């Protein structure tokens, strides 16, 4: 037996003792005993629990890999996520006003990918177990919206009819304004009989839309999402902010940064999460790599009332970032890249000197790298707001407010 005292949490939520020794499900300040296996303490037993240790609120937490942090108080998780942002910025020599984390409530995740497969007796669906391919049924999951939970039984039925005994389905279920929007991958190739069976399931479960490996099986009603005053029908399985609360919070923060202005560029715009609300008061040019998402945004804008002009451009911003002479006509830029960040686009922004930049990020490390580039080019990072749409996970999202140093805050 080895006994250690946990000093801090790692990026994945493990407790870390001097060594470093990684201890799953342990919290700072706790004294833990277990069997040392390399740099990991296995079969840990908590000798002295932290005051921030709580009973996991979900029945499935012990086995399910969907959540990592239900053993910690909400305050500890919020502070830990804020600290990850502080440390990432510190690593590039930056300090800023880092606001307290805002967190989406339980039962608010409106999109999930359920794993489903056939079993000897029938089928099972749920999330993968921690560090394992085993599927854990999660009928009492408190992470996703109640509507999404109905997708579990559907996922089992899809596995029964659409997969072999060895394969596993990935069933992406999204809660839309009109019912569940379901996109399945990993199943049998479509043939006539399977198509008919799937269409019947689409009716039986009153799905808004069902797609199978990108092929549309049925759309009873377009699965719209609200984006400001507009409604958009995203392409099957495409990106959507994880909770409605998170989307609204991020949008408010982006609006706070952009302020009253005439012309905004929204880069990595998706289906218009920010472009469409911003178009209530400014003209917006939305740029995004997916032509289907740009089309969805354009249709949503055309059908909405009272918005200013929104133009769309399909463009690979890693290979062909907007150049300084293209950026110079904008008063503000919103940028919301994938986890890899946006090094090429940020380098052009640094030259272009657009007065205000709202940077939304799902990766504090790449955000810090981008922030360093901007601050070296004369920008000030006024504040950062961590936003936690991925409650009980190790995932951190944030919005950063940049302005050129000579422009008053
Ligand atoms: C984090 S999402 C943000 C989307 C949108 N801002 C929103 O909030 O819904 C990142 C977006 O970048 C797009 N994307 C990924 N790689 C890209 C690239 N190389 N060029 C342009 N867009 C890209 C994705 O399709 C996705 O819509």
Give tens-digit pLDDT for 31-50. Answer: 999 999 999 999 999 999 99
Atom number in ligand 1 closest to CA 337: 10
Average pLDDT, stretch 119-144?
95
DSSP code for 399: E
Residue 131 contacts residue 65 (beta carbons within 8 Å): yes
Atom number in ligand 1 closest to CA 271: 9
Confidence class of residue 406 from pLDDT cuts 50, 70 and 90? confident
Give tens-digit pLDDT for 358-380. Answer: 999 999 999 999 999 999 999 99
Q: Which of 239, 258, 293, 359 to mutate to test the pocket of ligand 1 (most atoms within 8 A of CB)?
A: 239
pLDDT at 24 over 80: yes
Task: Report the interhelical angle of 364-376 vs 343-352 (nearest 10°).
Answer: 20
Task: Report the interhelical angle of 364-376 vs 74-90 (nearest 10°).
Answer: 40
CA distance 254 to 338: 17
SS3 state at 349? helix
How many CB atoms are closer than 10 A to CB 362? 19
**Which residues, 6+ apart, have CB-to-CB distance to 277 below 8 Å?**
227, 228, 229, 251, 255
The β-bridge partners of 326 are none
Distance 287 CA to ligand 1 centre (A): 9
Q: Which residues are catalytic?
A: 362
Distance 156 CA to ligand 1 centre (A): 31
Buried b (16+ CB within 10 A) or exposed e, 39-72: ebbeebebeeebebbeebebebbeebbbbbbbbb
CA distance 27 to 215: 46
Distance 82 CA to ligand 1 centre (A): 24
Residue 341 contacts residue 347 (beta carbons within 8 Å): no
- Protein residue with its CA nearest to atom 21 in ligand 1: 289
CA distance 236 to 292: 10
Average pLDDT, stretch 2-16?
95
Residue 94 contacts residue 158 (beta carbons within 8 Å): no
Q: Which residues line ligand 1 (CB under 6 A)?
A: 239, 241, 268-270, 273-274, 288-290, 293, 316-318, 336-338, 362
pLDDT at 102 over 70: yes
Atom number in ligand 1 closest to CA 240: 9
Average pLDDT, stretch 174-192?
96
Average pLDDT, stretch 187-194?
96
Distance 16 CA to ligand 1 centre (A): 34
CA distance 155 to 112: 12
Q: How far is CA 167 from CA 117, 123, 128, 187, in A?
A: 7, 12, 14, 7
Distance 284 CA to ligand 1 centre (A): 16
Residue 370 contacts residue 346 (beta carbons within 8 Å): yes
pLDDT at 408 over 80: no
CA distance 316 to 338: 12
- Protein residue with its CA nearest to atom 6 in ligand 1: 269
CA dihedral 361, 366, 368, 370 (to 10 degrees): -90
Q: Which of 252, 270, 343, 358 to mutate to test the pocket of ligand 1 (most atoms within 8 A of CB)?
A: 270
């Amino acid at each position: 037996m080895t006994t250690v005292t946990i000093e801090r949490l790692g990026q994945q939520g493990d407790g870390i003792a001097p060594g470093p020794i990684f201890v799953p499900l342990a919290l700072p300040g706790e004294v833990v005993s277990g069997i040392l296996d390399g740099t990991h303490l296995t079969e840990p037993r908590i000798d002295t629990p932290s005051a921030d240790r709580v009973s996991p609120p979900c029945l499935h937490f012990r086995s399910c890999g969907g959540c990592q942090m239900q053993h910690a108080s909400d305050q500890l998780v919020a502070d830990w996520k804020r600290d990850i942002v502080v440390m990432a910025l510190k690593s590039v020599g930056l300090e800023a006003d880092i606001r307290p984390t805002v967190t989406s409530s339980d039962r608010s995740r409106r999109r999930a990918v359920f794993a489903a497969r056939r079993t000897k007796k029938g089928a099972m669906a749920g999330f993968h177990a921690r560090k394992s391919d085993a599927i854990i049924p999660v009928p009492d999951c408190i992470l996703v919206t109640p509507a999404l939970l109905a997708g579990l039984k559907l996922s089992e039925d899809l596995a029964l009819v659409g997969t072999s005994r060895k394969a596993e389905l990935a069933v992406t279920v999204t809660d839309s304004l009109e019912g569940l929007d379901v996109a399945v991958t990993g199943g049998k190739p479509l043939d006539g009989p399977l198509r008919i069976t799937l269409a019947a399931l689409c009716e039986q479960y009153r799905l808004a839309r069902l797609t199978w490996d990108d092929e549309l099986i049925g759309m009873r009603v377009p699965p719209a999402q609200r984006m400001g005053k507009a409604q958009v029908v995203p392409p099957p399985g495409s990106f959507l902010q994880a909770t409605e609360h998170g989307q609204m919070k991020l949008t408010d923060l982006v609006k706070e940064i952009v302020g009253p202005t005439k012309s905004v560029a929204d880069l990595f715009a998706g289906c218009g999460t920010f472009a469409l609300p911003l178009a209530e008061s400014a003209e917006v040019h939305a740029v995004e790599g997916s032509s289907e998402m740009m089309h969805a945004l354009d249709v949503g804008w055309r059908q909405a009332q009272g918005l200013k002009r929104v133009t769309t451009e399909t463009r690979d911003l890693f290979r062909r970032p907007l150049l300084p002479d293209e950026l110079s006509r904008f008063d503000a830029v919103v940028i919301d890249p994938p986890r890899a960040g946006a090094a090429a686009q940020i380098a052009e922004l640094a030259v272009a000197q657009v007065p205000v930049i709202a940077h939304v990020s799902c990766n504090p490390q790449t955000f810090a790298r981008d922030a360093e580039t901007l601050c070296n080019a004369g920008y000030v990072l006024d504040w950062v707001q961590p936003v936690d749409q991925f409650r009980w996970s190790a995932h951190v999202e944030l919005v950063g407010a940049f302005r050129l140093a000579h422009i008053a805050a």
